[in-house]
Structures are given as structure tokens and as C-alpha cells.
Amino acid sequence: MGLHRVREPAGVLPQAAWRLDPGPEIAPNEVRIRVERLNLDAASFRQLWEKHGGDGDAVRAEVCEIISTRGKMQNPVTGSGGMLIGTVEEVGRRSPLGFKPGERVATLVSLTLTPLVVTDGLARWDGRSEQVPCDGWAILFARSIAAVLPEDLDPQLSLAVLDVCGAPALTARVVSRYVAERRDARPVAVAVVGGAGKSGSLSLAAARRAGAGRTVGVVPVAGERDALVAAGLADEVVLADARDPVALSTAVTSALGVPADVTVVCVDVPGCEHGAVLATADGGTVIFFSMATSFAAAALGAEGLAADVTMLVGNGYVPGHAELALGLLRGEPGVRALFEARLAAD
Amino acid sequence: MGLHRVREPAGVLPQAAWRLDPGPEIAPNEVRIRVERLNLDAASFRQLWEKHGGDGDAVRAEVCEIISTRGKMQNPVTGSGGMLIGTVEEVGRRSPLGFKPGERVATLVSLTLTPLVVTDGLARWDGRSEQVPCDGWAILFARSIAAVLPEDLDPQLSLAVLDVCGAPALTARVVSRYVAERRDARPVAVAVVGGAGKSGSLSLAAARRAGAGRTVGVVPVAGERDALVAAGLADEVVLADARDPVALSTAVTSALGVPADVTVVCVDVPGCEHGAVLATADGGTVIFFSMATSFAAAALGAEGLAADVTMLVGNGYVPGHAELALGLLRGEPGVRALFEARLAAD
């Protein structure tokens, strides 16, 4: 768990720590990675971008400052991090991860708990995108999850998929349960808020494969609508502002004909909790994947609406999540098209 | 839903609003309550108490200021509110709540979405307890949940139970599912963190009634340990600091013999997410009822620990929750003893 890397406060786990020790000497159960790229969490990058009014140099300076101060990349405002890719440099003799030096890997644990040192001042990054070219090192613990990058896929494409691979896996698990327990002919209806994004498009594909009979993707702008329609991943695609509860629930209910059995929130803006609850049927489930989710807003919102809805904190870890997400990328041309267009635009 | 009561920002639901219109004229589907007592949310009161260093006058002044500024009692830091009791004063002709003027009721929706006016400056409150004697009025919407106070119980006792009645109802639902799906002879193991508190003691009783074969209550101090042992609501009672992940998980696992199938977090302090995840078995469920829960800490913590754990946002509304909780109070002498001792100490 990396407790010995926690500098302050004492006794917490690395993710909760204010500061980690990112020293390069590894313990017997650790692995050191030579880092080549960070992928910042979308909510974190957006917060930094807005704070600095789109000044890339200021964004870069703050990211450098965070990493050197904290020994990890964890945005102090959003609490979120991201992930990285790099090459295995040294493997402790008792590491259970099974890596060999020279293998190219992506971390699937958050940067918020990954000891990290940057040695190039992020000089090759313009501060204007979540993808951060980088030189430095990072440490993996015994239970850290990481994946060897597939050789048949562009590493940036793999990284983008692996970054959000918990979402389709948990969506598939929840939707499967509704499908298995449905006792009449009604299709299981699924809404994905932010359906054209990375986690959203994968979740739509996963929901359909898990047996969802009717799906809707909700997007904020016409460009995303057109892209998601072209991708063919949802039965319906609708435009709505997810922060407007009445607009969101009306859009979902109109598109599906009923409220959703499962609503998946994949947009990285605050204030989507109430709309998601309102869009969901009694007995339904909302899965919150956005790090911008407010626990209190969700809990009190559902209570205030007298909504008998199960609300899940989107856990980024589900066994088999990396394989499932990479399989969707390989098998669903619509998913691949959205990811490739997004990388090209970055 | 009370959208017409939202003053700013426009378009959000009352719970998310900065300011509500608490005017006394009711719409046809509303009800006006003459308020006699507020019950502040524990996390909210604790924040105010600590901010003002235990100065009751300063706490009272800030609560008055919040209510007059916002038109509702919602702590701007914790985002949480509480509930109230009072007497039905006027019922709109289209209200679906079924109340009659003169009935004494408790609101089960949060104060965070309840339009509220205080007319006595909280002059009878010393600012030193969550129970706030009060004169003023409040507005219930069509979907607001409220309960007529039972005549066989002290109103303060009923209020204290109704305030947290979502917790035992959701705990019962989740535990029942594990019991129904268990395919071997292992008992379903349940840990309740904060087991001697209001929601905690009710959740322990609910878990046992739902079929939990082994239960542990975790408490922070010896006084609570002795009280919970005397109440007889848990098979084991252990002392641990819930903010220390290793201590909490070790205490739970030692007491149960295994990690918990279901861990219920009922303590109103921040930083319990990681311990709760660590204390829970793979395939298990954590239910977070504390308003001090951090969404990001829960999501990233589970991911960082590679823990295949379902995490639920504790929804304060479950159909039948008021009746279930009042039934536990009436039927479980241990629950009643803990509640009466707590009220006597306030």
C-alpha cells in the first residue's frame, strides 16, 4: 500500500497524503518506472485551465509546483490526478506485478497516490492539453494496478482508454444485473451523460453489450451530438445541459420513453447530481464517474426528491477492466473513431 | 419540486440553490409549517462549533445569518442542513401529503431545500447543541417527505430517529441482498463505523434483523464502547480511530474474523473512506452515510487499493424508512437506551 512513502500526515494512505517521498530507491516490492507521459485527469486540467484563464505557461508552472511540493500529481482543489505511461526501469525482487525491465506500461492507479519526480520541468509541454510529455520517474507499489501497453494499438490511444477503463466495466456489471433481474419484456434503459466523451462512449458500448435494450447519450453541444450519432453507439442522442436538472431529466425521459434504469454520469462539471437522479426511475441506479461529483449534493438531492435510487461512487477498479475496455476499442469502430478524433484534436 | 421558490441561481433545484424564497403564502401544492424546533445535521453543527471555538453565541449568530441570507438552513461549508418539527398551519388544496392543520409533524427532507424563516432570533437556543428551539415557519413542497409524530413517543426521540431513518433502511436492504445471495454457510458479516451513534445503532439493529450473522460496531472512545456493549446491538464492539485506515481495517477484520461483507460509515468526521474500503471484502459493499464523505477520496481510494468494492452514496430516502426506524426504536431496548441517553446528555 506504500505506507512507508507517506511523509505527511503520518498514518494515512498515499492517496490521502499531502506529501509523498518519491525517492528513486525502491523497496523489494516496488517498481520504478521511467516516465514518458502524464495524462491529467479531465476535472483537474479543467480547473487549472480555468484558474489561469487559459495561460498554458501558468498551468505548466503550477503542475511543476504541485509535483515538486507533494511528490505526486494531485490537484489540491479537485483532489484528482490522472495516470502515466513509461518504461519499467527496475523491479524489486518481491514485486507481485510481474513486470520486466524495458516493458512499456501504463499505470491504472491514480497519480494521486503515485510517487513522482519530474526532471525536465515539463519543458516539452505547452500547458494546453491533458497530455503531458515528461521526463522523470514514478514508483509502483505491490498492489498498484498497471498494464503492459498492447503492441497493436497506438500507445496514446491505449493510454486514453486505460485512463477510464473502470467506467465501462462497472457500467457493464450494473446493466447486466438489471437485465438478469428484469421479469417482463421492457428493455433495460440506459442514459449516459457525456456520452461522446472517453468514459461516456465506452460506457455506452459496454451497456449495449451487457444487454441494454435502449440507450441514450446526452451531450452538451451540436458537434458532440453529430460525432456520437455518427459513431452509432446509442439509440438516441440528445442535447442538454446536464447542470439543468429539469432539462436533463426531460431530455432523457423523452428519448427513452421512460426514465432510465441506469444513468451513468461521465461529465467533468459540477452540479449534475440532481438531474441524474431526476432522470432515473424508482428502483434505478445512478453511477457517478465524474470527480466533480459532490457527495452531499447527491445524497441530499435524492432525499429531497424522495427518489428511491441507488447511487454508486464510480470505483475505478473492477477486475478485468483493462481488457474489457481495450476489447471495446478493438471491436467497436464507433468507439475507436471517437477516441482517434479526440486524440487528433488534442 | 419547489422550483418556483428558487431565487438564485435560476434553474437549479432548491437544494442546490444559494437562496430560496421563504415567503409565507403557499402555492396550491404546498404546506406551511409553524416551526418549533430545528435539528441541525451533525457535520454542520460540528463545523460551526469548531469554527467558533465552542462560542455558542457566535454559533447562534451564524445560524441566524445563514437562514436570513439563504432562506433555508444550509451550512455553506458542509453543504448539509438537518430537519425540523412543527405544526401544520396551512395546507394547499392540491397538496398530496395528506396533512391536516394542527398535526404535529417532522420533516424528513433536508433543511437544505426547505424554505425557512426564523422570527425569534433563536433567542431560546444557547448555540451549544444540535437541537434548536425556534419560532418561525417553513414550506413543504408536493414531494417533500414528512411524518406525523407518533403519539406514543417523546417528540424529541421521534425527531432524533427520523433524522437518520434512511440509514437503517438502506442497510437492511443491502444486507438482505447479501443474505439472499449467500451460497454457503458463512455468516454475512457487517461492520458499522460509529456504531454507538444515532444512525450507527439503528444500522446495527437493522443489519441483525436483516440476517447479518456477525456484526461489529466500531467506536472511537471507551465511553461509547461501554454504552454499545451494554446495548447489546453488536456481536463485537471495538475501539479504533476511523481516520486511520490500517487501524480501522485491522480492528474490523480481527473482530469479525474476516473483512466485512457490508461496511456502514456513520461517523461525521472526514477521512474515513480508505479505512472503510480496506475493512471490506472483495465483492463487498461500503455504504457512506456521513456527509463528511469525500467523493474523490472514496473513488480514488478504492482504485488505489485495487479494491473490488461497491460504494454507495447513502440516500436518505428509502420507501418505508420512517416506519422501519420507529419500529426498531420501539422493538429494540438497546436502541432506545442509546437514544434516550443521548437526548439526556444534550
Q: Report yes or no: A207 and A171 within 8 Å, Cβ to Cβ.
A: yes
pLDDT computed for residue B192 by the predictor: 98
pLDDT computed for residue A18 by the predictor: 95
Chosen for mutation from A107, A282, A315 (greatest number of chain B CBs closer than 10 Å) is A315
Q: Which residue of A has its CA nearest to B316?
A: A303
Q: Report yes or no: B203 and B167 within 8 Å, Cβ to Cβ.
A: yes
- Cβ separation A315–B307 shorter than 8 A: yes
d(CA A338, CA A234): 13
- Ranges of chain B whose pLDDT falls below 50: none
Count of residues in chain A: 346
- Cβ separation B305–A274 shorter than 8 A: no
Residue A120's identity, in one-letter code, is D
Q: Which three cell numbers stand for residue A233?
A: 453507439
Q: Which residue of B has its CA nearest to A309?
A: B315
Residue pLDDT, tens place only, A22-69: 999 999 999 999 999 999 988 899 999 999 999 999 999 999 999 999
Match 426564523 to its residue by C-alpha cell: B118
Is the pLDDT reported for residue A100 higher than 80?
yes
CB contacts of A271 in chain B (<8 Å) are: 12, 16
Q: From residue A64, give the alpha-carbon distance in Å to each of A127, A134, A262.
A: 11, 11, 40
pLDDT computed for residue A346 by the predictor: 67
Residue A81's identity, in one-letter code, is G
Chosen for mutation from B1, B8, B12, B15 (greatest number of chain A CBs closer than 10 Å) is B15
Residue pLDDT, tens place only, A286-342: 999 998 899 989 998 888 888 999 999 999 889 889 999 999 999 999 999 999 998
Q: Report yes or no: B113 and A304 within 8 Å, Cβ to Cβ.
A: yes
Of B143, B245, B299, the CB nearest to A316: B299
pLDDT computed for residue A282 by the predictor: 95
pLDDT computed for residue B36 by the predictor: 94
d(CA A93, CA B242): 34
Residue pLDDT, tens place only, A125-177: 999 999 899 999 999 998 788 888 998 999 889 988 998 999 999 999 999 99
Of A79, A317, A318, the CB nearest to B294: A79
Mean pLDDT in chain B? 94
- Cβ separation B294–A295 shorter than 8 A: yes
* DSSP-based three-state secondary structure for A45: helix
| Structure-model confidence comparison of residues A16 and B184, the more confident one | B184
d(CA A270, CA A294): 7
Is the pLDDT reported for residue A190 higher than 80?
yes
At A3, is the pLDDT very low, low, confident or very high (cuts 50, 70, 90)? confident
Of A14, A299, A306, the CB nearest to B143: A306
d(CA A75, CA B109): 34
Match 422550483 to its residue by C-alpha cell: B3
Is the pLDDT reported for residue A95 higher than 70?
yes
CB contacts of A80 in chain B (<8 Å) are: 296, 300
- Cβ separation B304–A12 shorter than 8 A: no
Of A110, A143, A299, the CB nearest to B291: A299
pTM: 0.85
| Structure-model confidence comparison of residues B148 and A19, the more confident one | A19
Q: Which residue of A has its CA nearest to B289?
A: A299
- Burial classification of residue A152, based on how many CB atoms lie within 10 Å of its CB (0-12 exposed, 13-18 middle, 19 or more buried): exposed
Q: Report yes or no: A277 and B316 within 8 Å, Cβ to Cβ.
A: no
pLDDT computed for residue B303 by the predictor: 85
Count of A–B CB contacts within 8 Å? 185
pLDDT computed for residue B137 by the predictor: 98
Strand pairing class (B214-219; B280-288): unpaired
Of A271, A303, A314, the CB nearest to B16: A271
DSSP notation for B253-312: HHHHSS-EEEEEE---SS--HHHHHHTEEEEEEEEE--TT--HHHHHHHHHHTT---EEE
Contacts of B123 (CB under 8 A, 6+ apart): none
Mean pLDDT throughout A271-286?
96
Q: What whole-number percentage of chain A has pLDDT above 70?
A: 100
Q: Report yes or no: A199 and A169 within 8 Å, Cβ to Cβ.
A: no
Q: Which three cell numbers stand for residue B39?
A: 435539528
Chosen for mutation from A113, A313, A324 (greatest number of chain B CBs closer than 10 Å) is A313
